Amino acid sequence: MKAYGSLSRDELLSLRQDLEKKYEGAKAKGLKLDMSRGKPSAMQLDMGMEILDTVNSSLPATSEDGTDCRNYGQPDGIKEARELMGSMMGVLTENVIVGGNSSLSLMYDMVSRSMTHGVMGSTPWCLLEKVRFLCPVPGYDRHFAITEHFGIEMISIPMNPAGPDMDQVEKYVSEDAAVKGIWCIPQYSNPQGISYSDETIRRFAALKPAAEDFRIYWDNAYVVHHIYEEDQDVILDILSECEKAGHPDMVYEFCSTSKISFAGAGICAVASSKGNLDDIRKSLSLQTIGPDKLNQLRHARYFKDLDGIKAHMKKHAASIRPKFQAVLETLKNELNGLEIGSWINPKGGYFISFEAMPGCAQNIVSLCKEAGVTLTGAGATYPYKKDPNDSNIRIAPTFPTAEELKQATDLFVLCVKLASVRKLSEQ
């Protein structure tokens, strides 16, 4: 295929005419599809239904140590759930607190607590002139929404193939005491599916922050979320790397079973040093009389251990792999050589990140929307929803059925072509 940029004006106009016509045809189909969020499909959720049978009226609702999981108490979570979540993150049980159904809440609470109470005795951030967070881009919109909500200034850091640009991270963190945190999704990042290299992670652990209360927000959301059986990424354990580097308190690690068991009814966890966990406990003990221990018990009984989780995630992989492959195949077949977009073939996670020609992302998303396919809003992957190049689009292939996905992707590539040719023909 010939690159659009090399077409003559006549060729462009003729192509445009052709694409406009096709697009009108596509609109006439009256699609109504949602590819906006990284949601597991009903089929994936079905795979975990037996989790719900592990706690019922015929079974004792006691954890291994005899705790009545129906009653109040145990703000850290039950031991077997802490073990399970710890094993997933590769950290010791004593470094883990297990919570309710949302790791996002844990992150929100962490920022909120830092605003009102500081971090391990530091000045509450709400009393500071300026608080900044580093935001690798493209990144996760809900991370950015939390920091924006608290009036924290966000600084974009470009993502490279091995993780965030560490030269920039090091410079900001070591020189600016207002930089209090960085959002990271270290394995199969949202949306690019990039895993941080060992070198990147060691450079994180070796950071020398100007602020004593600087923390790495390490959202290990996709730690067991591989797409392929063989070709899987493994990343270093940030907690032990930070400890080795003499900075045991520098990181909070988060994970959840939202995309393992049930998106709305899983369990979540935070792992960190004793110092940080004790700091968290001070608020947590006032905030709740304990998490939902019955749901923790369900998960611990069903999965048993890391092997149980891995076996379960193989089923998920088998279900989502064809979806990722279908999208990637269409992108390749339809767009290769046209030089109007690029994308990464992810090995895990929930997204495919697409880079359109600069200035085209919003148009593409609007065109899709108009023809009945909702994508994540263009710009969502950047702080303040402002993609300076207007080029990144996040594709979420997991939720739709295979048939829906095919229709949606066909429409997507058509809209990419149309938006690009409009742009080029108007220059």
Q: Which residues bind its own copies (CB under 8 A)?
A: 37, 39-40, 42, 45, 48-50, 52-53, 55-57, 61, 68-74, 100-102, 104-105, 108-109, 112, 115-117, 124, 126-127, 142, 145-146, 149-150, 258, 262-265, 282-283, 286-295
CB of 33 to its own copies, least distance (A): 16
Q: Which is nearer to its own copies, 170 or 292 (CB)?
A: 292
Is the dihedral angle over the CA atoms 21, 24, 28, 33 positive or is it negative? positive
Report yes or no: 86 and 96 within 8 Å, Cβ to Cβ.
yes
Amino acid identity, position 392: N
State both tokens at 273.
């040093």
Report yes or no: 358 and 389 within 8 Å, Cβ to Cβ.
yes
Q: Which is nearer to its own copies, 14 or 288 (CB)?
A: 288
Q: Which is nearer to its own copies, 23 or 399 (CB)?
A: 399
Three-state secondary structure call for residue 91:
coil
Report yes or no: 279 and 119 within 8 Å, Cβ to Cβ.
yes
List CB contacts of 423: < 8 A, sequence separation 6 or more.
357, 359, 360, 363
For 205-313, list the strands marked E by DSSP: 215-219, 251-256, 268-271
Q: Which is nearer to its own copies, 57 or 427 (CB)?
A: 57
Q: Which is nearer to its own copies, 53 or 329 (CB)?
A: 53
State both tokens at 104.
């996002």
Closest CA to 370 of 411, 401, 402: 411
Q: Which is nearer to its own copies, 39 or 225 (CB)?
A: 39
Instruction: Give one word for 169, left, alpha or beta, with left for phi > 0 and alpha for psi -120 to 50.
Output: alpha
Q: Which is nearer to its own copies, 74 or 190 (CB)?
A: 74
Identify the residue whose tokens are 């935001």: 135
Distance CA 163, CA 141 (A): 18
Q: Which is nearer to its own copies, 75 or 90 (CB)?
A: 75
Report yes or no: 361 and 26 within 8 Å, Cβ to Cβ.
no
CB of 143 to its own copies, least distance (A): 10
List 218's β-bridge partners, or say none.
184, 253
Q: Which is nearer to its own copies, 8 or 57 (CB)?
A: 57
CB of 286 to its own copies, least distance (A): 5
Geometric angle at alpha carbon 140, from 137 and 145, rounded to 5°: 105
Three-state secondary structure call for residue 416:
helix
Report yes or no: 113 and 280 within 8 Å, Cβ to Cβ.
yes
CB of 128 to its own copies, least distance (A): 11
CB of 59 to its own copies, least distance (A): 9
CB of 258 to its own copies, least distance (A): 8
Q: Which is nearer to its own copies, 76 or 241 (CB)?
A: 76
For the chain, helix, strand, coil in percent to 5 are 45, 15, 40
Report yes or no: 308 and 51 within 8 Å, Cβ to Cβ.
no
CB of 150 to its own copies, least distance (A): 6
CB of 134 to its own copies, least distance (A): 19
Q: Which is nearer to its own copies, 101 or 376 (CB)?
A: 101
CB of 51 to its own copies, least distance (A): 8
Identify the residue whose tokens are 């079973």: 257
Please write down the long-range contacts of 92-95, taking CB distance under 8 Å and 24 or more positions apart: 94/274, 95/239, 95/271, 95/272, 95/273, 95/274, 95/277
Distance CA 42, CA 167 (A): 42
CB of 425 to its own copies, least distance (A): 40
CB of 294 to its own copies, least distance (A): 4
